[in-house]
Structure 1
Amino acid sequence: MLAGNVLPVQLPVLVFLGGVVGFAIGAATRVLAARLHPETAVPAGWCEYPAVVLWSATAACAHLIPSWWLPPVLLLVTLAVPLTAIDLRHRRLPDFLTLPAIPLALLLLTYAAIAGPGLTLLRDAVIGSLAFAGFHALAHYLSPSALGFGDVKLSLSLGAMLGAAGPWALLLAPGIAAIITLTLYPGWGRSIPHGPGLLAATYALVLPAYL
């Protein structure tokens, strides 16, 4: 943690740099996704400006987050914006983002376990991934129109992060995600994108897990 007399000076710089990095990553992911998969294209600004907010908020907390926990958080921040934008625009969570997120999340959580509290964190991440994905797979099976299979694939990586954050995070995430999703209902009718709710709930629970 930064010393108390240094933090007030450095914090605005960290927030500014976080916003700059966020804008660059938001723009890069939007352009790359549109070029590789034109069916996932979103308008300019849909990734850039939310990424500025999310990266700035994360940078503001970075001095409180253990160094071993920061990589999984940054992976979540990187993926959250393009996935949310694409789901809101096209009502889909593309495989080219959700599938690589699974091994990447496990890799970074393995590093976190070795550098941090130990391999129990990795065990909890694997259990969380399977439990969270199993829950969403059951929901998809019972009501495919209410929960798409893309949400199930996304829940594998998010569940790993939530499991590593703690059992309380794993238990709270579905409820928080459902509340966020229901707030979108008036504007979306029966086809409600659930990915934004899942991502927002995971970020809200994972970021402060080891503060």
Structure 2
Amino acid sequence: MPWALAPALTVFAGLGIELAVIDVRTHRLPDAILLPGAGAVIVLLAGAAVVTGTPDRALGLAGGAAASFAACLAVHLARPDAFGGGDVKLAGLCGAVLGWVGPEAVASGIALGFVAGGAAATGVVLSGARGASIAFGPFLLAGTWGRLLAGPW
């Protein structure tokens, strides 16, 4: 991991913790926190691309954000009661972060979030709590961090 990514990943980590806690408590990902935080992370990532002499990474950020946003928007449109608009926006941010690594990281990181969320939902159903719901944001974040920590960069 290039040293220039440290500020972006630090902000992303702090933002992710705050959003995960809020989502678990309220099943909401507030725009007032998500949007400015996402903007800061993306600006820092773009700056890291320039500083490291790899401006092509900015295309990866944009592509990862667009692909993740579009895929999760399709899920939201199909199941708006189960997958909210905040989850769609968070997926776009996660895709941008994963886009630094590459398209495979975007696909596998977002997929990992869905697998983890699906496993949790299965656990809820098997426990007999059929009317219960889970917050999906923490699973998107966990999938993103799982893929980032798995490397390679």
TM-score (ref. length: structure 1): 0.64
Residues 71-150 of structure 1 aligned to structure 2 (within 5 Å): 71-150=7-86
Q: Secondary structure at the match of 1:75?
A: helix
Q: 1-side partners of 2:150 and 2:118: how far apart?
A: 24
**Aligned partner (choices 151, 158, 166) of residue 87 of structure 2:** 151
The whole-number CA distance in structure 2 between the counterparts of 1:207 and 1:112 is: 18
1:196 and 2:138 matched: yes
User: How far apart are 1:85 and its partner, in Å?
Assistant: 1.0
Aligned residues: 147
What is the rounded CA distance, in whole Å, between the counterparts of 1:170 and 1:126 in structure 2? 11
SS at match of 2:44: helix
CA distance in 1, matches of 2:4, 2:146: 18
SS in structure 1 at match of 2:13: helix
What is the SS of the residue equivalent to 1:93?
Answer: coil
Taking the aligned partners of 2:4 and 2:34, their CA distance within structure 1 comes to 23
* Secondary structure of the corresponding residue to residue 184 of structure 1: helix
Distance in 2 of aligned mates of 1:86 and 1:180 = 19
Structure 2 residue identity aligned to 1:169: A
Over the aligned positions, Cα root-mean-square deviation in angstroms equals 1.8
Distance 2:38 2:91 in 1: 9
143, 162, 170: which one aligns with 2:98: 162
SS, match of residue 145 in structure 1: coil
| Structure 1, unpaired ranges of 5+ | 1-64
> What amino acid is the match of 1:196?
P
Distance 2:18 2:119 in 1: 20
For residues 57-72 of structure 1, the aligned pairs below 5 Å read 65-72=1-8
Aligned partner of 1:206 in structure 2 is: 148
- Which residues of structure 2 form unaligned runs of 5+? none
Q: Decide whether aligned partners of structure 1 residues 130 and 148 sit closer, same or farther in structure 2, where only a CA change above 3 A counts.
A: same
Shift of 1:210: 5.7
SS at match of 2:28: coil
Q: Quick one: which amino acid aligns to residue 29 of structure 2?
A: L
TM-score (norm 2): 0.87
Return the letter of the residue paired with 2:20.
Answer: T
Q: Residue in 2 aligned with 1:53?
A: none
